[in-house]
Chain A
C-alpha cells in the first residue's frame, strides 16, 4: 500500500496551500482532486480579491490559482487529477478511484479540503433546462468560453450572486433582474453597486414563483414575499429570460469527515454540517485535519490561510518542523486570518442587522434594499470630498477587510490606517495627480476620480471599466447614475489601459457639471 506523510482530498485553495506548507517542511504529499483541473473554484474567480497584501488582495482569483499551482509544482507536490476519494476510514486509510480502478493509500496525516456544494431552492419548473447553479454559469463562461444564456435572472444577492451577475454581463449576457427572498442585500455593498449601476434592478423580498417553458426556460415569474415567505398575490412580475441562475448559498461538503468518524456539528455560523476542529484545523481524530469551506463557509482567502495552518500543524505532528518553529509560523498565519475575519461580514456577524459603521456613520439603507447608495446618503461617508481639481471619490461604505487603495496611491491621498476594515478616507491635504492607481486597485470598483468643475460647465469622471467592446476617446453615449438610470449625455474624454491596472480600464467621461456626483457609469449609444 502506498504511504504518504500527508494525503489531501481537494486541490482547491485550502488543499493546495496546505500541500505547499507541508512540502516546504519536507513532507511527502499527495493531493487528490476529482476534477480535470486543479484549483477548485479559483479559476472561475475572475474578479480581484479583497484583503491586504498578505491576502493577495487586488489579484484576480485565477491568477492566485496559477501562483499556487506553480508553487506546489516547484516543491514537488504530487497532484493527481480525475481521482475521486470515495472512502476515508478512521485508521487514515483512503480509497481513491483513479481511471478504472480503486487504489488504497495510507497517510500519516490526512487533510480534508473538499470545499462546498451549492444550495438549491425548489419552485415549479426548477428542473427545466435553463435553470442552473451560479457555479455552472461561472464554469461555462469563465472556463469554457460558453455563454450560459442571453437573458438571465439571478436569484441570490450574496457575494456569489452579485459577483456572478457582474461576470455574466462581462461575458455578454443581459442580467434582467436580481432577486432575493431576504429583505436586504446579503453580499458586499460594493459588489451590489457595480451591478446596480449597470442597470440591473434589485428585487429584495422577492422569490421565484415559477420558471416557465415546456422543454426549456422561456421566462420566469417572481413575486414579493411576506414575513412568512409566502408570495403576496398581485405582486408577481414576469421576465422573458432563457436562463435562471441560482445563487442561494453554499453548504460544506463534509461527508468524508463524517464517514471517517470525526465528531460533527450542525453549526449555522459555519453554514451547515461541519467537523469540529481546533485552532489548527485538527478534527476529533488526531492527525485528520479539515480546512477551507468544508469546515465552515468563508472566502477563498481564508481557505488558503486555514490550509497553510493545517499543513504546518501536520508537519509539527510528524516532527518535520520543531514545535517552536511551527507555532511561530502558525501565529503569523493566524494574524492574517484574524485580519480577514473582521468587519460587518465576519463569520460571527451572520444574520446580524448593522445600522452603523465602526466610524459611527449610518449604513446606507438604500444600498441594502436596492443595491446602490442613494444621492442623499453618499455625502456622509469619509471617502467623499469635494476638493478643487481632480480628486478621488471613494464610495466604499461598509467595514470590509480590504486596503489596497491605501497602498496604491503614490501621493498618500487615501487613508485607512492600521484597522483594515476602516472606511477609506480622503486626505485633502495631499494632492491627487490623477494617476488612477486607486481606481484600478479597488477590488470593489468603488473608487472614481472626479473633477467636479473643468471650468467649461463640464465635469470629468474616471471610472473602472471591465467590459468589451472598450469605448474609445470621442465616443458619445449616456451616463448612468448609481441606480443604472440614464441621467445625461456623456462623451468619452480618455480611456487608459495599463498592465498595472490588470484588465481594468480607466474610462474618463465628460458630463454636465451638475452630474459630477451622480453619473457613475458610461454606456455607448447603440449604432442605429
Chain B
C-alpha cells in the first residue's frame, strides 16, 4: 500500500509508472524506486525460499545489508531488490535457493 499524502513529507516524488513481471504476472510500479517497494505495494511478501530449509524470506533490513530480499532479476540470481531500482519490463522471479526453479524440477 502506498501513502498518498504524509503529514510531514507531503507527497512523494516518483518516477514514471511502468510495468514489470513477477513470476510471469504483470505488475505496475514506479521506475527508479527499489524493486522491493513496488512488490510490497502489490502485496508480495515472499521474495525467496531458502536453500536448505525452503523457508520464505522477504524484506528485512530494506537497506541492502541483510540480503534476505534477493530475487532473480532478468535471469540473474541474488539481486538485492531493496536497493535495485525498478526498470520497465524487468522480469522478476521468486528465488528458490539460488535459482528461479522450484526444487523438484517444476519450471519457473
Contact = CB atoms under 8 A, between A and B. Distances in A.
Do A and B interact directly, with beta carbons closer than 8 Å?
yes
Q: How large is the interface on A (under 10, 10 to 19, 20 to 34, 35 or more residues)?
A: 35 or more
Interface stretch (B20-28, B62-70, B71-79, B99-107): B62-70
B62 A46 contact: no
B12, B45, B56, B63: most-surrounded residue (chain A CB, <10 A) = B63
B97 interface: no
B12 A466 contact: no
A18 to B, nearest CB: 22
Interface in A348-388: none
A136 B81 CA distance: 13
Contacts of A140: 37, 40, 59, 62
Nearest to A148: B40
Nearest to A149: B1
A170 B60 contact: no
Nearest to A139: B62
Interface string B72-99: 0000000000110100000000000000
A145 B45 contact: no
B3 to A, nearest CB: 5
Given A146-B37, A172-B3, A130 B45 contact: yes
B64 A34 contact: yes
Contacts of B46: 129, 215-216
A141 B59 contact: no
B65 A117 contact: yes
A139 B63 contact: yes
A525 B64 CA distance: 42
A238 interface: no
A468 B6 contact: yes
A129, A150, A171, A470: most-surrounded residue (chain B CB, <10 A) = A129
A309 B34 CA distance: 35
Given A216-B45, A216-B58, A136 B63 contact: yes
Given A34-B64, A145-B3, A130 B41 contact: no
Interface in A121-159: 127-133, 135-137, 139-142, 144-147, 150
Contact of A468 (B7, B37, B83): B7
Given A144-B33, A146-B40, A468-B6, 12 more contacts: A34-B64, A35-B83, A36-B83, A46-B8, A129-B47, A132-B61, A144-B12, A146-B1, A170-B6, A171-B6, A172-B3, A216-B46
18 contacts: A34-B64, A60-B8, A129-B56, A131-B60, A132-B59, A132-B60, A133-B62, A135-B61, A136-B61, A136-B62, A140-B62, A144-B33, A146-B1, A170-B6, A216-B45, A466-B7, A466-B8, A468-B5
Q: Which 7 A/B pairs are nearest by Cβ-Cβ distance?
A: A129-B58, A136-B62, A145-B12, A216-B45, A129-B45, A147-B1, A139-B62
